[in-house]
Structure 1
């Protein structure tokens, strides 16, 4: 009985959702990396379009950043891991920082809802 009272009290103290700086949102490469300490060095990021194309377990490992204008522009270097295999041994400059939407973490392939919709249409 006491444990349920403690859990109820904790629910009242904790916010319903994470603050914007801690939410996993998409955006330009620079805006995503600017949310992390050291401007995202050591983070894994991927382009959102990789998920819709069915490309799984792919990401850039960020090794160096030079962000400008509070994370709106900059230069980013990293190592590409493509479908679980490291492609670049040396760091290279990452293209498409403003052109595509990016998200933290590795790509997961096609979302579950897309596969179900495709089978019902066939």
Structure 2
């Protein structure tokens, strides 16, 4: 597999786990606006080298998820701001929220500072 995106978790906002219970996580690079920080996984080293596509694999710490659907602003937002929403629902409702990356439906992994978030092309 070819890794084409990598970043490192720096900090978890106080409300990250509230969203985890709803099957989603919000990512933002470490210079996120103050009003959003408490809801986000804050990360550093936002390196994107290819286009995110269905069928790719997102790895959150040690857990892998297949990418099911890519919102039309994911590429730009991820590259420019490190800001996307990870949705762990297999897009079963047919949503297409612009800044969301829809992943297979399985339990949301715990994430901690120092963990890598990466995307691979199989």
Q: Same fold (TM over 0.5)?
A: no
Using CA pairs under 8 Å that are at least 6 residues apart, name the structure with larger relative contact order, 1 or 2. Answer: 2
Structure holding more strand per residue: 2
| TM-score of the superposed pair, with normalisation by structure 1 | 0.25
| TM-score of the superposed pair, with normalisation by structure 2 | 0.25
Structure holding more helix per residue: 1
Rg larger in 1 or in 2? Answer: 1
